[in-house]
Structure 1
Amino acid sequence: MTSRLVDQLGARSAAGATAAALAGQIRALILDGRLTVGERLPSERSLALELRRSRSTMTRAYDLLEVDGYVSRRQGGGTRVALPHDHVSPQMDEDDSAIDLSIASMDSTPGLYDATVRALPRLAALRGTSGYSLRGLPELRDAVARRFTERGVATDAEEIIITSGALSALNLVLATIGRRGERAVVEQPTFPHALEAIRRYGYRTLPTPVDVQGWDTAHLTELLLQSRPHIAYLIPDFHNPTGATLTNSERSLIAATAQNTGTYLIVDETTAELDIDRGWSPRPMAAFGPHVVTIGSMSKIAWGGMRIGWIRAERPLIARLLAVRPSFELGTALLEQCIAVELLTEMPALAAHVRARLDAGRAAVAEGLARIEGVRMPQTHGGLSAWVDLGAPVSTRLSLAAREHRLILPPGPRFATGGVLERRLRIPITLPPDRTKAAMERLRLAWSDVRDGEITDREELPRAAVI
């Protein structure tokens, strides 16, 4: 069994690297957050055996990292991840000149203030209650259920739980049905924090490929049939980060296969309402099978500061979820729920605002990328981002170069398992056009730095597999 470090590096990428290149790859993992401060790394001997390299090469790589402050070594305590004392993460820097492309989210909808004002009498009427809301306000559960019904799957309020965001919803589902040591199918690429949550609950992940053209449904269904995983985590609408959408026929096939294998489909609909010009609307995945557990959120259609999410599931599972929830959360904030009730009555206006903002953001990204030779932006009909093809496996190097220009963006492998997808980069289409224009200029400068370095550094390019 490989160590987590080698899994993150990708054995193919690390196997032929020089000590300096290997140290650079490990440093990139640390700066990207894929290796955490304090985490213990394999011993030099173990790492040499895993990579089939000399121990002296591993020692030299760790020496270089220690000199720069990226690892600490103690006799008997092994080698652990660290950060240099003078290192300041751009996310924590008080200088707001950095542009952060690690967060693909818009600012609040213009109707948020008015909805908040209208929500205050509703909140005032709840002052005589305990203030705890384990299921969620009945009127909000009604509104969420009504939206599911409008989209094509009959739903009532008893099949809904309101949560503090979609990630909270996912953690509640995993805490309720999770089984350590079981298999979990995950898309590759996928939402990094969901992947981290699934691993934290002890699942062994099985990746299935997704690209801008969509899913390899034959691979996915065969994986379900052969491995019979306990869960599969899918983002079927405007997939994050590729922007792809499953067709109704693909949804039907996947749901039928999952029902046959006894697999829970955990379906993330956080991006389901982010349509620009797709031209068609699929039915929710829940319409195709009983083993579908759907999670959703207001964060992308209203505001990330409103921590409102939900779970849709069959009633027996809802009862299990409610039994587990008090162990780590006693409900969702009432003010946000009251505001969400008001906003969900204005879905046409919300959708129009989202469409206009994403359309402008998409145009700004396309204009900026057109000035960067060799980079291709795919057709992007909605969602949070463009899944850009760099034409070469340089995503991590580009991410590091971007930091020198005060641009924060995660490399392609951040969305994957095993250090792959070095040809890809996620560019959010959610920022205001002027901010995006500035970000694209910084990306162009970073790209020039990387391309200039290829002339003398080509042998040290990451050699991760491309999917």
Structure 2
Amino acid sequence: MTSRLVEQLGAQSVAGATAASLAEQIRALILDGRLTVGERLPSERALALELRRSRSTTTRVYSLLEGDGYVSRLHGGSTRVALPHSPPTATNTDDDAAIDLSIASMDSTPGLYDATVRSLPRLAALRGTSGYSLRGLPELREAVARRFTERGVETDADEIIITSGALNAFHLVLATIGRRGERALVEQPTFPHALEALHRHGYRLLPTPVDVTGWDERHLSDTLLRSRPHVAYLIPDFHNPTGASLSDAERSRIATTARNSGTHVVVDETTAELDIDRGWSPLPMAAFSPQVITVGSMSKIAWGGLRIGWIRAERSLIARLLATRPSFELGTALLEQCIAVELLQDMPALTAHVTARLRAGREAVATGLASIGGLSMPPTSGGLSAWLDLGAPISTSLSLASRDHQLILPPGPRFTTGGVLERRLRIPITLPPERMADAMGRLQLAWNDVMAGGASAPREVPSSAVI
């Protein structure tokens, strides 16, 4: 059985790698959070067998990591993930100086303050209630349902539950319908915290490829019919991180195939309203099958600090969700719900702000990349980020080099199930232009470091090995 360490490394990343390179890749997994502090690693002998390398190589790998404080070892016992007692030079940055590109999110909409002030009488009117809101405020559920209807799928407030964000909604869905040990189809790449949620609920993951040009629909459909996964998690609009969108025809075919395979489709619409200039507006995937479960949130169109999300589902599932929810929370904060009601009353203002900010961020990224030889901006008509092709499997090396320039940049494998996509890098387009220009300058310095290092970069692999 493959250990989690080797699964995260990926076979193509370790083929021919030196002990120093392997240690550096494991260090990157630790810094990136893909290996957790205290986690037990394979023994030297077991790791050598898995990697088909000599025992002396794996001994050297663990010795290098131990010397830097990234593992702790007991003689004759286990090797476990650790962190240095003092921050290493590469990450010794203060919050103000560092630029964090691991979070693809904008600051708040200009209307947030006014909406908060307008929401206070609504909140005051609720003082005579218990304050618990298991299903969500009726007026907020009606506003969310109305937005679904405007986008092309008739929706009633009884088909909506208000949650504390989309990820909270996803956990509630999995807690209600989840089956440990079952399979889950996921896009490769995808939102990392969704992968973590599926792992936490005991699912075995089946990846299906997505790129800036779209989905491999045949692969996706064949996987649904052949493996009949219990759950499929999809981001059909401005996919995170590639920015691709499914057409109406693709949505219809995938929804039909999933229904035939008995798969619960959970659609993440967190990015659905992040349009810059796509030029067309697809129907929500729920329009093609009543069984589709949709999760969404206010985090990208209003503010990440406004922890408001929702679930749209059939009434029978809504009843099951409401029965499950009290086991881990008793509802969503009322003040945030009141503010969300006010914000959703003026969707044109929200979407106009989003479009303007994303367009400016996209231009700043394109300008910055133009000055870095070998990198260019792929087509990006909306969404959170640009999904770059680095031309070689150096994403982890570039991520580590970026830390030396106070730039936090997750490598491509962070968005995958098994350490693949080392040629890829996600660059958010959500920062203000001046901040983004600074980030691009730091990226260029890191890029120059990696290019100058030459032999320190991971070995080139055939492009067919990278999905």
TM-score under structure 1 normalisation?
A: 0.98
Shift of 1:95: 4.1
Shift of 1:24: 1.1
2:224 equivalent in structure 1: 224
Identity of aligned residues (%): 78
In the alignment, the residues of structure 1 paired with residue 200 and residue 89 of structure 2 have an alpha-carbon distance, to the nearest angstrom, of 25
1:288 equivalent in structure 2: 288
In the alignment, the residues of structure 2 paired with residue 377 and residue 198 of structure 1 have an alpha-carbon distance, to the nearest angstrom, of 32
Alignment pair present for 1:357 and 2:357:
yes
2:150 equivalent in structure 1: 150
2:330 equivalent in structure 1: 330
In the alignment, the residues of structure 1 paired with residue 41 and residue 398 of structure 2 have an alpha-carbon distance, to the nearest angstrom, of 25
Query: Which stretch of the first structure deviates more once superposed, 8-17 or 32-41?
Result: 8-17
In the alignment, the residues of structure 2 paired with residue 186 and residue 236 of structure 1 have an alpha-carbon distance, to the nearest angstrom, of 12
| Alpha carbons 1:259, 1:290 under 8 Å: kept | no
2:339 equivalent in structure 1: 339
In the alignment, the residues of structure 2 paired with residue 461 and residue 12 of structure 1 have an alpha-carbon distance, to the nearest angstrom, of 9
| Alpha carbons 1:169, 1:311 under 8 Å: kept | yes
Shift of 1:149: 0.4
Name the amino acid aligned to 2:9. Answer: L
In the alignment, the residues of structure 2 paired with residue 338 and residue 319 of structure 1 have an alpha-carbon distance, to the nearest angstrom, of 24
Alignment of 1:214-293 (within 5 A): 214-293=214-293
In the alignment, the residues of structure 1 paired with residue 180 and residue 89 of structure 2 have an alpha-carbon distance, to the nearest angstrom, of 34
Question: Unpaired segments of 5 or more residues in structure 1?
Answer: none
Name the amino acid aligned to 2:168. Answer: S
The alignment covers a number of residue pairs equal to 466
Shift of 1:12: 2.7
SS at match of 1:257: helix
* CA deviation profile, 1:351-391 (whole Å, cap 9, x unmatched): 00000000000000000000001112111000000001111
In the alignment, the residues of structure 1 paired with residue 180 and residue 261 of structure 2 have an alpha-carbon distance, to the nearest angstrom, of 18
In the alignment, the residues of structure 2 paired with residue 240 and residue 123 of structure 1 have an alpha-carbon distance, to the nearest angstrom, of 34
| Alpha carbons 2:396, 2:412 under 8 Å: kept | yes
1:428 equivalent in structure 2: 428
In the alignment, the residues of structure 1 paired with residue 88 and residue 167 of structure 2 have an alpha-carbon distance, to the nearest angstrom, of 27
| Alpha carbons 1:235, 1:268 under 8 Å: kept | yes
| Alpha carbons 1:377, 1:389 under 8 Å: kept | no
Name the amino acid aligned to 1:282. Answer: P
* CA deviation profile, 1:265-312 (whole Å, cap 9, x unmatched): 000000000000001000000001122100000000000000000000
SS at match of 2:450: helix
* CA deviation profile, 1:10-55 (whole Å, cap 9, x unmatched): 1232132221111111111111111111110011111111111111
In the alignment, the residues of structure 1 paired with residue 398 and residue 447 of structure 2 have an alpha-carbon distance, to the nearest angstrom, of 6
In the alignment, the residues of structure 2 paired with residue 24 and residue 342 of structure 1 have an alpha-carbon distance, to the nearest angstrom, of 49
| Alpha carbons 2:271, 2:384 under 8 Å: kept | yes
| Alpha carbons 2:308, 2:337 under 8 Å: kept | yes
| Alpha carbons 1:90, 1:98 under 8 Å: kept | no
Shift of 1:108: 0.3
| Closer/same/farther in 2, CA of residues 269 and 364 from structure 1, 3 Å limit | same
| Alpha carbons 2:393, 2:459 under 8 Å: kept | no
In the alignment, the residues of structure 1 paired with residue 92 and residue 380 of structure 2 have an alpha-carbon distance, to the nearest angstrom, of 31
Alignment pair present for 1:298 and 2:298:
yes
* CA deviation profile, 1:86-134 (whole Å, cap 9, x unmatched): 1169889544100110000000000000000110000000000000000
| Alpha carbons 1:15, 1:53 under 8 Å: kept | no
Name the amino acid aligned to 2:101. Answer: L
In the alignment, the residues of structure 2 paired with residue 196 and residue 50 of structure 1 have an alpha-carbon distance, to the nearest angstrom, of 24
2:163 equivalent in structure 1: 163
Name the amino acid aligned to 1:285. Answer: M
In the alignment, the residues of structure 2 paired with residue 461 and residue 409 of structure 1 have an alpha-carbon distance, to the nearest angstrom, of 21
* CA deviation profile, 1:423-453 (whole Å, cap 9, x unmatched): 1110000000000000000000000000011
| Alpha carbons 1:271, 1:383 under 8 Å: kept | yes
| Closer/same/farther in 2, CA of residues 89 and 109 from structure 1, 3 Å limit | farther
Name the amino acid aligned to 1:224. Answer: L
| Alpha carbons 1:90, 1:408 under 8 Å: kept | no
In the alignment, the residues of structure 2 paired with residue 215 and residue 370 of structure 1 have an alpha-carbon distance, to the nearest angstrom, of 27
| Alpha carbons 2:392, 2:460 under 8 Å: kept | no
Name the amino acid aligned to 2:161. Answer: I
Shift of 1:459: 6.5
| Alpha carbons 1:422, 1:462 under 8 Å: kept | no
| Alpha carbons 1:393, 1:463 under 8 Å: kept | no
In the alignment, the residues of structure 2 paired with residue 54 and residue 139 of structure 1 have an alpha-carbon distance, to the nearest angstrom, of 65
SS at match of 1:16: coil
* CA deviation profile, 1:398-427 (whole Å, cap 9, x unmatched): 000000000001000000111111111100
In the alignment, the residues of structure 2 paired with residue 415 and residue 119 of structure 1 have an alpha-carbon distance, to the nearest angstrom, of 37
In the alignment, the residues of structure 2 paired with residue 193 and residue 404 of structure 1 have an alpha-carbon distance, to the nearest angstrom, of 26
SS at match of 1:442: helix
| Closer/same/farther in 2, CA of residues 162 and 290 from structure 1, 3 Å limit | same
1:50 equivalent in structure 2: 50
SS at match of 2:323: helix
Name the amino acid aligned to 1:97. Answer: A
| Closer/same/farther in 2, CA of residues 317 and 392 from structure 1, 3 Å limit | same
In the alignment, the residues of structure 1 paired with residue 384 and residue 250 of structure 2 have an alpha-carbon distance, to the nearest angstrom, of 22
In the alignment, the residues of structure 1 paired with residue 357 and residue 125 of structure 2 have an alpha-carbon distance, to the nearest angstrom, of 35
2:34 equivalent in structure 1: 34
| Alpha carbons 1:18, 1:460 under 8 Å: kept | no
In the alignment, the residues of structure 1 paired with residue 252 and residue 210 of structure 2 have an alpha-carbon distance, to the nearest angstrom, of 18
| Closer/same/farther in 2, CA of residues 130 and 240 from structure 1, 3 Å limit | same
In the alignment, the residues of structure 2 paired with residue 269 and residue 387 of structure 1 have an alpha-carbon distance, to the nearest angstrom, of 19
Name the amino acid aligned to 1:406. Answer: Q
